[in-house]
Structure 1
Amino acid sequence: MSPAEFNQKITEVREDRIQGASELARCCLAILAQAARELPAGSVAEWRKQLLQLSAGLIETRPSMTPVGNLLRRWNDGLAVDARLNLPVARRSAAGRAEGLIESSQRAVAGCAAHAARLLGSGRTVMTHSFSSTVLESCRLLKDAGLRMIVTESRPLEEGRRLAEQLADWKVPTVYITDAQMGLFVAQADAVLVGADSVLADGAVLNKAGTYLLALAAREQGVPFYVCCESFKRRAASDPPVVPEEMAATELGVPLWPGVTVRNVYFEMTPARLVSAWIDETGVRQSHKDQ
């Protein structure tokens, strides 16, 4: 892998608007596995230095997506051990560790979904916002158990369409709505289930803009609001604050009116007080307010 090829992959990760945080983290790990195998280097020390630089570049591309940083830093930690090996063995070790973390991430998604499916139960109407691999897998587990879904389009790029298309393939009865209709439809749901890009130490959740409004509407209507994501999306209290990403205003598809500032902030924080339960691969943690 040449530096130019790697820079192109970094650009693709930075500009990706389709994949969720965990999917992008696995994509980054796959890039590092390839780099570990192919990066030209005359010594283990040179190889390790270059890999750490590449990893740092990937982490910096998506600061709002905690699993990218958490999983890649976990991978970085093993490079200190790899540096004591000869170069061919170090290459195999680093690539294998990246692939092992990818598998761990996939198992975590499956574990989250299993706990969510048990919590929701059969014959439920579930509402969601944006696209989440854990929500998708939860739907797969419940698709033959009387599941009904309410899916928001999730503007500006309509990530909800991806979920709705899969639900249609599974023949799950689904209502697809604009984001502006969330308050109208949430009362028809038995529960709201969303993923997350980050979970703070106090339980606050960073997710696609609109999640906070949905949580407020759910609380007003007495509908439980569940957050389902892998444990490596959690941030420690000592971690730096998350700065929500803002994307190009052109995605909103409006002209540049004189004197008008068009904003396109992708992520927002939903406070822990609005969350009924947090679900990860280890189980379900109920909010004290809902016990």
Structure 2
Amino acid sequence: MTHVVTCFLRHGTDVLLGRRSDAVGTYIGRWAGVSGYVEGDPGDAERDARREVREETGWGDATLVRAGDPVDVEDGDRTWTVHPFLFEVDSRTVTPNEEIATYEWVSPPAIRERETVPGLWAAYEAVAPTVTTVATDTVHGSAWLSLRALEVLRDRAAVADDHAAVASVARDLRDARPSMAAVANRVNRAMSAADRTPAAVRTRAERVADAALDAGREAATRAAERCGASVATLSRSGTVRAALERARPAVLIGESRPAREGADVAAALADAGLDVTLTTDAALPAELGARDPDAVLVGADAVLADGSVVNKVGTRGLALAAARENVPVYVVAAAAKVRPDERVHAEAGEAVDLYDGPAPVSVANPVFDRTPADLVTGVVTERGVLDGDDVRAVAAEHRANAAWDEG
């Protein structure tokens, strides 16, 4: 049995496929992911995967998203054990070597429509996002997870026999992260605009995903205009980070316990050349008062219909401190994050993150908090800065989209 790696590079919601050249020994002319032989211990196949990605595409710093379980593929008298990997890259620049005749970035269901190496779709499914990965991810924000949810919907629609099967997956995705409005809103948008066929849902999910990527970029551009020379923030928001990288202010950022994702963002911004100060969540309000930034810029997991904002815990305290110091607070979010109602779905961290001793101590360890609308200067979206009436109008749009599952 021969062990090989197959690597999928993802940018946005597309993956890289390469047509194998006559420089390879097998499957010349067929489409494949980045692939090669496992040269050492199959248990350390990631090393071979990274080598192949570097040699065949030029990407030496691709981010590993997932390593899938090995897939056994039979092709005539050959049996291959494929070790699948999914990497994420931040551009579509590729420097192919002689093993790739040509390459394309494609929506993954296109794998099923091309002449590929054996088992390529099975290898992709082993690393593709699922309802479970969307539901259990504790690292990424709601914009990123909403894209993954749309990928799940797209991929399942590509293989479904009827609309009922797709609708079942859509319901599971819609309910996977109740605190993250964008996940449900974007799934509902894809389902509401599609004909009741799997093919229509697949096409619509791809279009909604493209629009979501555009929305994040436009919201970041608009937010960058409001940064000034210095900004305070906390937690992880891809849109906020993009805005800061455009505007390049001095940044004060809270560490954002318990996952401390603020520390990761601080390091990334500093590596990009920004002047960054990382502080504890408890010290963030006092540091804001001492430093007097030009603005507070935060993301949102949901903007409620009354204009209040649900975001990583600590946002409310930061907004209260900003009000005391007369610092404007801008929430940066795509319009898809407006919730069609005013429900708050709380998520709690592990109790042991705060206390695991023998005393009968009750633990409150919320992940999100709610910042009242009167503490928010404006909600910056791809549509511009939304006021209260604008938020209510967007909420009504989302309620209409959710009606696909009524009756």
The TM-score, its normalising length taken from structure 2, stands at 0.61
1:263 lines up with 2:364 in the alignment? yes
Q: Distance in 2 between matches of 1:202 and 1:181?
A: 29
Counterpart mapping for 1:231-242 below 5 A: 231-236=335-340, 239=341, 241-242=343-344
Among candidates 215, 218, 226, match of residue 108 of structure 1 = 215
- TM-score w.r.t. the length of structure 1 is 0.84
Q: 2:250 aligns with which of 134, 148, 155?
A: 148
The answer for the alignment partner of 1:184 in structure 2 is 286
How many aligned residue pairs are there? 265
Match of 1:283 in 2: 384
CA positional deviation for 1:256:
4.0
Please report how far the alpha carbon of residue 67 of structure 1 lies from its aligned counterpart in structure 2 after TM superposition: 0.6
Q: Distance in 2 between matches of 1:256 and 1:104?
A: 48
**What amino acid is aligned across from residue 59 of structure 1 in structure 2?**
R
- Deviations along 1:87-140, one digit per CA (max 9) or x if unpaired, are xxx43x32222121111111111111111111224xx11010111111011012
Pairing 1:248–2:350 present: yes
Contact 2:235 2:256 survives alignment (8 Å)? yes
Q: Given that residues 186 and 223 in structure 1 are in contact (C-alpha distance below 8 angstroms), is that contact kept between their aligned partners in structure 2? A: no
Give 1 or 2: higher strand fraction.
2
Whether the 8 Å CA contact 1:64–1:245 is kept in 2: the answer is yes
- Structure 1: which amino acid aligns with 2:224? A
Map 1:1-291; keep pairs closer than 5 Å: 9-39=130-160, 41=161, 47-79=162-194, 81-83=195-197, 90-91=198-199, 93-121=200-228, 124-143=229-248, 147-187=249-289, 188=291, 189-236=293-340, 239=341, 241-250=343-352, 252=353, 254-285=355-386
Q: What is the RMSD computed on CA atoms of the aligned residues?
A: 2.4
Structure 2: gaps of 5 or more residues: 1-120, 389-407
Q: Residues 151 and 174 of structure 1 are in contact (CA less than 8 Å); yes or no, is this contact kept in structure 2?
A: yes
What is the identity percentage for the equivalent residue pairs of Structure 1 and Structure 2?
Answer: 33
Cα shift at 1:278: 1.6
Contact 1:128 1:192 in 2 (8 A): yes
Q: CA deviation at 1:270?
A: 0.3
Code of the aligned partner of 2:207: G
* 1:138-167 superposed Cα distances (whole Å, 9 cap, x missing partner): 012123xxx110111000001112211210
Give the deviation of 1:257 after TM superposition.
2.9
Give the drift of 1:76.
1.5
| Counterpart amino acid of residue 232 in structure 2 | M
- TM-superposed CA distance for 1:254, in Å, is 3.7
Higher helix share: 1
CA contact under 8 A between 2:131 and 2:152: conserved in structure 1? no
| Paired AA for residue 178 in structure 1 | T
**1:228 to 1:240, Cα distance in 2 relative to 1, 3 A:** closer
Tell me the SS of whatever aligns to 2:282: helix
Aligned residue number for residue 44 of structure 1: none
Higher relative CO (Cα under 8 Å, sequence separation at least 6) belongs to: 1
Contact kept, 8 Å, 2:354 with 2:363, in 1: the verdict is no
Q: Whole-Å Cα distance in 2 between the matches of residues 77 and 195 of structure 1? A: 27
| CA spacing shift, 1:33–1:285, aligned 2, 3 Å | closer
The ranges of structure 1 where at least 4 consecutive aligned residues each deviate by more than 6 angstroms after the TM superposition are: none
Alpha-carbon distance change, 65 to 259 in structure 1, aligned in 2, over 3 angstroms? same
Task: Say which SS state the counterpart of residue 343 (structure 2) adopts.
Answer: coil
Q: CA deviation at 1:247?
A: 3.1
Unaligned runs of 5+ in 1: 42-46, 84-89
| DSSP 3-state at the match of 2:147 | helix
Q: CA deviation at 1:285?
A: 4.0
Deviations, residues 50-89 of structure 1 (Å, cap 9, x unaligned): 111111111212101001111101111134x143xxxxxx
CA distance in 2, matches of 1:95, 1:170: 37
- C-alpha distance in 1, partners of 2:349/2:126? 24
Q: 1:69 to 1:162 in 2, by over 3 A?
A: same
What is the match of residue 13 of structure 2? none
